[in-house]
C-alpha cells in the first residue's frame, strides 16, 4: 500500500508540473521589440519595413517568437522598460535631455539592449548624446571575433551593406561591468539591407547578409547580453 500511495503521489506531481509547463508554452520566449523615437529633428522613423522583416527572419530561422508588431517608444518614457531590445536609426540630429539620458541609462543598466544603426549622418550626434547616458564610458570597437559575430551565423566582423564614404564597416559598443549594453553599427547600413527589396534594390545576397547579422544581434541581445 505505501508503494502504491507513493506512485499515486508521484503521478499527481508529474501531472501538475506538466500542466504548469503547458500553461507557460504560449508566453514562453515571446518578446516585443521597439523603435526608439528621439528629439532633435532626426528621422527616427527611417526604414519602416526594416524591423518587421528582421523579426520575420528571426522567427523563421532562429525559432524566436517575437511579435511582428513593432512598437515605438520615446527615450524618456516609462514604457521603454517593456522591451528587451530597442532599435535606433536615422540620418541626422539626435538630442537627449538630461531626463531622457537618465531614463535610457536606467533601462540599459536594468537589462535592456540598444542597437543604434547609423543610416548615414548620425555619427557626430550619437557619440555626443551617448556620452550623456554613459559619461564614464567610451564607445570601443568590437573585435572581429566578438561573440556577436559568432551566434547562429558566423562573420569575420561587421559586414558592409551600403557604401557611403568608402570607410570600413565598424561595430562599436558601450560595455558596462563586462556587459555589452549598447551596440552601434557604423558605415554598414544594416537597416537598409533589412528593408523590402524594392526600397533600395539591394542584391539578394547583401540583403541576406544584413538579415543574418541582424539575427545575430537579436540572438546575442536575448541570450548573451542578459
Domain ranges of the chain: 1-28, 32-222
Judge whether residue 23 has pLDDT over 60: no
Q: What is the mean pLDDT of residues 96-102?
A: 98
User: How high is the pLDDT of residue 2?
Assistant: 47
Can you read off the three cell numbers belonging to residue 151? 551566434
Judge whether residue 224 has pLDDT over 50: yes
H or E, element range at 31: strand 30-31
Pairwise CA distance, residues 206 & 86, whole Å: 23
| 116: phi then psi, degrees, rounded to nearest 5 | -105, 125
Name all contacts of 163-168 with Cβ < 8 Å and 24+ positions apart: 164/120, 164/189
Instruction: Report whether CATH 2.60.40.4070 matches the domain 32-222.
Output: no
Give the pLDDT band of residue 3 (cuts 50, 70, 90).
Answer: very low
pLDDT in tens, 164-211: 888 999 999 999 999 999 999 999 999 999 999 888 888 999 999 999
Pair 143, 189: CB distance under 8 Å: no
pLDDT in tens, 169-179: 999 999 999 99
How does DSSP assign 54-82, residue by residue?
HHHHHHHHT--EE-SS-EEEETT-GGGGG
What pTM does this model have? 0.86
Judge whether residue 13 has pLDDT over 50: no
Cβ partners under 8 Å of residue 81, min gap 6 = 107, 110, 112
Q: Which of 67, 49, 58 is nearest to 194 (CA)?
A: 49
Cβ partners under 8 Å of residue 218, min gap 6 = 33, 54, 58, 62, 64, 66, 85
SS3 of 125, please?
A: helix
Amino acid at each position: 500500500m505505501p508503494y502504491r500511495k507513493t506512485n499515486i503521489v508521484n503521478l499527481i506531481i508529474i501531472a501538475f508540473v506538466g500542466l504548469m509547463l503547458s500553461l507557460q508554452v504560449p508566453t514562453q520566449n515571446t518578446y516585443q521589440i521597439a523603435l526608439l523615437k528621439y528629439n532633435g529633428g532626426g528621422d527616427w522613423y527611417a526604414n519602416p519595413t526594416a524591423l518587421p522583416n528582421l523579426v520575420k527572419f528571426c522567427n523563421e530561422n532562429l525559432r524566436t517568437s517575437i511579435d511582428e508588431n513593432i512598437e515605438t517608444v520615446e527615450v524618456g518614457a516609462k514604457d521603454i522598460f517593456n522591451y528587451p531590445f530597442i532599435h535606433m536609426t536615422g540620418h541626422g540630429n539626435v538630442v537627449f535631455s538630461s531626463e531622457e539620458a537618465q531614463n535610457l541609462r536606467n533601462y540599459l543598466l536594468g537589462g535592456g539592449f540598444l542597437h543604434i544603426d547609423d543610416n548615414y549622418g548620425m555619427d557626430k550626434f550619437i557619440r555626443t548624446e551617448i556620452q550623456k547616458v554613459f559619461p564614464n564610458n567610451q564607445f570601443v570597437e568590437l573585435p572581429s571575433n566578438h561573440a556577436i559575430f559568432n551566434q547562429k551565423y558566423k562573420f569575420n566582423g561587421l559586414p558592409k551593406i551600403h557604401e557611403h564614404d568608402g570607410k570600413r564597416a565598424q561595430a562599436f559598443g558601450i560595455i558596462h561591468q563586462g556587459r555589452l549594453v549598447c551596440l552601434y553599427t557604423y558605415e554598414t547600413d544594416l537597416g537598409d539591407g533589412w528593408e523590402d527589396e524594392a526600397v533600395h534594390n539591394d542584391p539578394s545576397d547583401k540583403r541576406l547578409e544584413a538579415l543574418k547579422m541582424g539575427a545575430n544581434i537579436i540572438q546575442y541581445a536575448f541570450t548573451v547580453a542578459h
